[in-house]
Amino acid sequence: MNLDKVLGRSDSPSVLDEIVALRTHRSARAQGVRQSGQSNYQFVAELDANAQEWHLIDDRGRRSSAAGTWLLQDGEASMEIAFPRGMPKPVQMLYPESLLMWGRRSESFYPMLLQEVGRRSLLITFEHVEDPAFRATAVVNRSTGIIEKLAVLGDITILTEVKTGVQLDPGIKPEFLPITDWIRPDY
């Protein structure tokens, strides 16, 4: 891994390969929070990449999922899709290659810097292809390959509780506790 060195767009495929190689699990469940502007919501996201199935439920009771080739919203089939398309950001973080930030074809961002942060994480800084002052960041857990924090355009998604190797539960009924303080990083 090429740490602490400014990377070019041609380095993007190898960076993505290295992040994908960190993954040691077939399924994952994460609880977290997403903030966009003044609003936020909590969620539970689940993914089984081998089965090409995912589920997301938020603190407002909204559910979305994909099973087979169908995207479901609150139990109703809404469109036919191919995995991993249609995944919301919290689910994409469990499957980093689904993010449209790796400098592939017409993607607007590419990874331009990797740094160690904390005891167990990598900080990836992404640069916009048209504006080098426009940056996004992701924190990747080195033991799981899961992105635990993603910040793009002021939208921040943080996974607070991650479990790997879990059985997916599409009917999960999580309890969401009120957020009373800022979420402290655990890198």
DSSP 90: H
pTM of the predicted structure, to 2 decimals: 0.92
Is residue 186 a part of any domain in this protein?
A: no
pLDDT in tens, 83-130: 888 889 999 999 999 999 999 999 999 999 999 999 999 999 999 999
Is residue 174 a part of any domain in this protein?
A: no
Residue 75 pLDDT exceeds 70: no
Is residue 183 a part of any domain in this protein?
A: no
Is residue 3 a part of any domain in this protein?
A: no
φ and ψ at residue 2, rounded to 5 degrees: -90, 90
Residues in a beta bridge with 35: 40, 156
Tokens standing for 34? 């997403």
Cis status, amide bond into 84, omega within 30 of 0: yes
Question: Nearest CA to 169 among 44, 60, 78?
Answer: 44
Is residue 60 a part of any domain in this protein?
A: yes
- In the chain, the number of structural domains is 1
- CA–CA separation, 160 vs 9, rounded Å? 31
pLDDT of residue 110: 97
pLDDT of residue 36: 86
Tokens standing for 130? 């048209």
Question: Nearest CA to 90 among 154, 155, 144, 141?
Answer: 155
Is residue 123 a part of any domain in this protein?
A: yes
**Domain range enclosing 41:** 9-164
Residue 81 pLDDT exceeds 70: yes
pLDDT band at 76 (very low <50, low <70, confident <90, very high): low
Is residue 185 a part of any domain in this protein?
A: no
Residue 57: give its domain's CATH number.
2.50.20.10
Is residue 177 a part of any domain in this protein?
A: no
